[in-house]
A and B are shown apart, each in its own frame.
Chain A
Amino acid sequence: MRDTRRARFTLGILLAIALILVTVDFRGAESSPLGSLRSLGSSLFGGMEDLTTSVIRPVTSFFTMFTGAPEAQDRIGRLEAENAGLRRQLGEQRLSTERSAQLNRLLGTARLGQYKIVAASVIARRGVPGFEDSVELDAGRADGIRPNMTVINSDGLVGRVVHAGANTATVALITDSASSVGGRLEDSLEVGVVSGLGKLIPGGLFVRFQLLDSTAPIAEGQRIVSFGSDQARPYVPGVPIGVVQRVQETPGELTRIAYVRPFARISALDVVGVVVAAPARDPRDAVLPKPLATPSPSPTPTASPDLSETDLSEVDDDDRPRRPAEPDPSERAAPARRSGSR
């Protein structure tokens, strides 16, 4: 009996301390007095994580290749070709070539958009995907990384830096449901918000794109680039985000929702770049991959013009003013409009 009372007392004390910590951390926000505790943790464990990752990187990449396959069924063809190529390059050599190729592509992307980047590797990952989704990089303040910088890889937007330690940095991914990024459709310049889903839906990792103008046309296969934040922090403009995979009809609501497959393979991140200086001019769509080389798994290009056209004709029927930035120029739009007026 006495023992139980003592146990409850101990538990009560511990819970009280934990709640006080939560409160202090919450009230303090950025200038939290617990920040020093956090940076101690990051310098102490960051080095250990770095070491562990460098030792077991071959094992991890093996597992990534192994278990990633069933998820990406539509990519099996490409993976098979890739595997054949990989099998040719043997042993340890293989991994370093792959990483240097990733780095090369990343540098190419950065030059295309005139971003100034610091390259880094992912050394640790936290959390249940969809909830808290963050990774740790092996570069920090010493390399010029500060909080609220954009993180990209060779394919597209990855996330933003939330904490920067001495030699490591924490990145919140775009699939984190607390993150939201301004996005823009590539041709119509329509603006929306990209955010994490907070849940898994069949068919892989998706993010949600909320189009602010519900009358604006959006179709499968359209691509999204980042809109850019004020002072280019936390997001620089013009970074490719993803391809629209599915448009959800939301009749009567102020916004439209589409599900977007990110260009960057968020589940298998390795070499990434932190943008330490934004481009002088918005690169617009310049960084988007060429249409033929789009990594999107065949979003049936014939279906997309139809979808956008039906939306257009609806806009025509209503007496709404025409949008200044008409999305689909001349060649596709013209015949459909003629048939509509007949």
Chain B
Amino acid sequence: MRGLVISLVVVATMVFQVTVVNRIPWPGGSGPDLVLLAVVRLALTRGPVPGAVIGFVIGLTADVLPPADHLIGEHALAYSLIGYATGRAGLRDRGAVTMILCAAGGTIASAAIGVLLGDERLTWAAIGTVVPIAVAYNVVAGPLVLKLGRSPA
């Protein structure tokens, strides 16, 4: 039952991300990535194995969620790695600091994986200008998601 509620919340978050968050012209050019933060939040209290599985499932859904113009599996790969790493970190400490570090690391990691998979839009130069802004937004939004997620998750 709780699983069902969580999956509904996750799907709602993903739709909210593409219909609302991404359409707001954020100062600096890029906004917070709520889907990434949801992966980090869920993996944080559940350990590495569930973290990796949750990351994979959410990532695969993000790959087929329109509008998508990249290879299927790109997000699945990135998010399962992020879920695993966050789960490991969560074994030691489940506080806001871990959340922030994992959110920042995850933003950088998913961009880097895009480059490594040869996504032609992503270049190291572009990452240098856009990723720091995205990291900043995710770091700010991270603790908020942690607070919101405390009751159902």
Interface of A toward B, CB cutoff 8 Å: 4, 6-7, 10-11, 14-15, 17-22, 25-26, 32, 34, 37-38, 40-42, 45-46, 48-49, 52-53, 56, 59-60, 63-64, 67-68, 70-71, 122-132, 134-136, 162-163, 165, 168, 170-172, 176-178, 196, 198-200, 267-268
- Whether the Cβ atoms of A124 and B67 lie closer than 8 Å is yes
Contact of B65 among A41, A132, A172, A198 (CB under 8 A): A41
Which of B15-23, B97-105, B141-149 binds A? B15-23
Contact of A125 among B22, B52, B59, B125 (CB under 8 A): B22
**Given known contacts A130-B130, A171-B67, is B24 in contact with A45 (CB within 8 Å)?**
no
Asked whether B53 is an interface residue with its Cβ less than 8 Å from the other chain, the reply is yes
Task: Using CB atoms, name the residue of chain A closest to B25.
Answer: A267
- Whether the Cβ atoms of A7 and B52 lie closer than 8 Å is yes
- Whether the Cβ atoms of B129 and A199 lie closer than 8 Å is yes
Given A63-B24, A198-B122, 14 more A-B residue pairs with CB atoms under 8 Å apart are: A19-B77, A25-B71, A32-B72, A41-B68, A42-B64, A48-B15, A60-B19, A67-B26, A126-B22, A127-B22, A131-B114, A170-B69, A177-B120, A200-B129
- State in angstroms the CA–CA spacing of A125 and B17 once bound together: 8
User: Among residues 71 to 119 in chain B, which have CB atoms less than 8 Å away from a CB atom of chain A?
Assistant: 71-74, 76-77, 80-81, 84, 87-88, 114, 117, 119
- Whether the Cβ atoms of B25 and A268 lie closer than 8 Å is yes
**Given known contacts A60-B24, A67-B25, A125-B18, is B69 in contact with A132 (CB within 8 Å)?**
yes
**Given known contacts A19-B77, A199-B125, is B69 in contact with A172 (CB within 8 Å)?**
yes
Asked whether B152 is an interface residue with its Cβ less than 8 Å from the other chain, the reply is no
- State in angstroms the CA–CA spacing of A283 and B13 once bound together: 44
- Whether the Cβ atoms of B19 and A20 lie closer than 8 Å is no
Task: Using CB atoms, name the residue of chain A closest to B61.
Answer: A41
- State in angstroms the CA–CA spacing of A42 and B69 once bound together: 12
User: Among residues 24 to 38 in chain B, which have CB atoms less than 8 Å away from a CB atom of chain A?
Assistant: 24-30
Asked whether B42 is an interface residue with its Cβ less than 8 Å from the other chain, the reply is no
Residues of A near B61 (CB, < 8 A) are 41
- Whether the Cβ atoms of A37 and B72 lie closer than 8 Å is yes
- Whether the Cβ atoms of B56 and A18 lie closer than 8 Å is yes
Query: Which of A21, A42, A45 has most B Cβ within 10 Å?
Result: A45
The secondary structure that dominates the A interface is helix
Asked whether B66 is an interface residue with its Cβ less than 8 Å from the other chain, the reply is yes
**Residue contacts A-B, CB under 8 angstroms, 14 given:** A14-B55, A22-B72, A22-B77, A25-B73, A26-B71, A40-B64, A52-B16, A64-B25, A71-B27, A125-B67, A126-B22, A128-B30, A129-B130, A199-B129
Asked whether B150 is an interface residue with its Cβ less than 8 Å from the other chain, the reply is no
Residues of A near B10 (CB, < 8 A) are none
Interface of B toward A, CB cutoff 8 Å: 11, 14-16, 18-20, 22-30, 47-49, 52-53, 55-56, 59-61, 63-74, 76-77, 80-81, 84, 87-88, 114, 117, 119-123, 125-126, 129-130, 134
**Given known contacts A45-B15, A130-B130, is B121 in contact with A124 (CB within 8 Å)?**
no
Residues of A near B29 (CB, < 8 A) are 128-130, 200
**Given known contacts A14-B56, A131-B130, A198-B121, is B69 in contact with A162 (CB within 8 Å)?**
yes
- State in angstroms the CA–CA spacing of A38 and B29 once bound together: 28
- Whether the Cβ atoms of B25 and A15 lie closer than 8 Å is no
**Given known contacts A6-B49, A71-B25, is B80 in contact with A15 (CB within 8 Å)?**
yes
Residues of B near A34 (CB, < 8 A) are 72
Q: 4 closest pairs, A vs B, by CB?
A: A41-B64, A21-B73, A18-B77, A22-B73
- Whether the Cβ atoms of B56 and A17 lie closer than 8 Å is yes
Residues of A near B84 (CB, < 8 A) are 7, 11
Task: Using CB atoms, name the residue of chain B closest to A124.
Answer: B18
Task: Using CB atoms, name the residue of chain B closest to A172.
Answer: B69
Residues of B near A122 (CB, < 8 A) are 23
B6 smallest CB distance to A (angstroms): 17
B29 smallest CB distance to A (angstroms): 4
